[in-house]
Amino acid sequence: MSFELQTFHEEAVSTPSHEDVTEMRDLLVETLDAAGQDPEIDEAGNVIAHRGEGEQLVLNTHIDTVPPHIPYERDGDIARGRGACDAKGPLAAFLDAFLHAEIESGQLTLAVTTNEETTQTGGAHLGDTLDADGYIVGEPTDLDVCLAARGQFEGEVRIHGESGHASDPANGENAIRAAAPILQALESYDDERGPGAHELLGRPTLTPSMIEGGEAINQIPGECTIQFDRRTVPPETVDGFFDGLRAHLDGWLPDSYDLEVGLVRPNMPAPEAFATDRDEPLVEALAAASGGECRPFGAATEASYFAEDAPVVVFGPGVLADENGPVAHGEREYVHLSAVEAAARAVQETVESVLG
């Protein structure tokens, strides 16, 4: 076996994948080929490789990063650069475990997506096409076992009034004026119709974040759009939330107005919240192997696309933030290489426990 974890991590972080993942995907495919595997690229652009047959455990992470690219640097045990922990650190660990785990029965699948930081169509496609018995999703968790995460999607309320000349405000229906009760309604939604607090994830949030309306100062605006960020908790679904929100807003909207409610990008995936039971064998095996705490993950992930299929945990080296501020997505992104190696050992031990 020619694979060397730290060398691959350096090559991966040194390979830009913030605008185009082609070079990084080629590196991954070539590495798998050199290790005697037979990877494929599916119709969504994901890289998939299998070992064995039978009960299936999936190792999933992503190769794309946020901009800008930051070159690789190393200072002893600390490796810096874009993707060092999000998520080329988990990728290196998962790849090492995939290649070295001893599988006595069952199938180990490595499934790596290419657009987790943007559209997440790759993760959604995997969720529709894979049929597995467990998933480990690679993200920076500081080697903790994260068994829940809030969902996240972007929605909008489009208020329709009637435009007219501002010299006669009564000759029209001012959509901006109607935004006031709608903003109040957004504030009250969770108290009246929301799912309530989740035992691990707490309360959901609904945050108006952008508003736009009007075309000219001397014209009554006939339309106003409020966009919002929704962080949801189980058991709320995207469809259930929008059905409830529409019914709630209708009670606040003045009679002379209409409104539409929906996703900002209705044709794109929207990750929902998930929670895996603490006593699932996959959770227990990874917690025992890593020694990490079982807790929620602090950001939305592609893990949500797999949660309806089988137990899911999020795990990996590195942190989203430390005492000095952001790490993942930050200018000073870094990971401890010893943590990458520890993650590889923990995942390998978990694989061997589940498929051994």
Q: What is the pLDDT of residues 257-301, one digit of tens each?
A: 999 999 999 999 999 999 999 999 999 999 999 999 999 999 889
pLDDT category of residue 195 using cuts at 50, 70 and 90: very high
The type of residue at 209 is S
207-223 confidence digits (pLDDT tens):
999 999 999 999 999 99
Name the percent of the chain lying above pLDDT 70.
Answer: 100
Which of 10, 313, 308 has the alpha carbon at shortest distance from 139?
313
Domains and CATH numbers, the chain: 5-149+273-355 (3.40.630.10), 151-263 (3.30.70.360)
Which of 340, 327, 300, 318 has the alpha carbon at shortest distance from 85?
318
- Start-to-end CA distance of the chain, whole Å, equals 20
Whether the per-residue pLDDT at 136 is higher than 80: the answer is yes
296-343 confidence digits (pLDDT tens):
999 889 999 999 999 999 999 999 999 999 999 999 999 999 999 999
**What pLDDT does residue 176 have?**
96
Q: Where are the alpha helices (DSSP H) in the chain?
A: 5-14, 22-34, 88-100, 121-129, 175-192, 238-250, 281-290, 337-355
Note whether 184 and 226 are within 8 A (CB). Answer: no
**What pLDDT does residue 300 have?**
86
**What pLDDT does residue 1 have?**
56
Instruction: Reply yes or no: is the peptide bond before residue 71 cis, omega within 30 of 0.
Output: no
Whether the per-residue pLDDT at 5 is higher than 80: the answer is yes
**What pLDDT does residue 272 have?**
94
**What pLDDT does residue 170 have?**
85
Phi, psi of 211 (to 5 degrees): -140, 140
Q: What is the mean pLDDT of residues 5-26?
A: 98
> How does the average pLDDT of the chain come out, rounded?
96
Q: How far is CA 215 from CA 159, 163, 218, 259, 307, in A?
A: 15, 10, 9, 19, 44
**Assessment of whether the complete model's pTM goes beyond 0.95:** no
Whether the per-residue pLDDT at 128 is higher than 60: the answer is yes
Q: From CA 330, how far away is CA 328, in angstroms rounded?
A: 5
Q: What is the mean pLDDT of residues 61-68?
A: 98
Phi, psi of 139 (to 5 degrees): -150, 165
97-107 confidence digits (pLDDT tens):
999 999 989 99
